[in-house]
Amino acid sequence: MTSASPAPAAVLVTLRPLTGDECEVEVTSEQLHGRRCIGCGTDHQLVDAGHVYTPTGEAPLGWPVRSCARCMAAER
């Protein structure tokens, strides 16, 4: 018998992409740390894609995020 792995915890952040409008998205820790695509979660051929901002007590904290070519093209 196999057990399903729990889904990674997601956090709601504000995405400010290199192009396009700011929006709210849910991201995992891997996406937040730039190890996976901010759009689809793949880890292949990632490029810089803008920043996400997490709320803190005083001011939002910025995190640089990455995107795969397919998701980057879909944003344009």
pLDDT digits (tens, 9 = 90+) for 42-51: 999 999 999 9
Structure confidence by residue, pLDDT tens digits, 5-53: 556 688 899 999 888 899 999 999 999 999 999 999 999 999 999 999 9
Please tell me the total number of residues recorded for the chain in this structure: 76
Q: What's residue 72's pLDDT? A: 87
For the chain, what are the domain ranges? 10-75
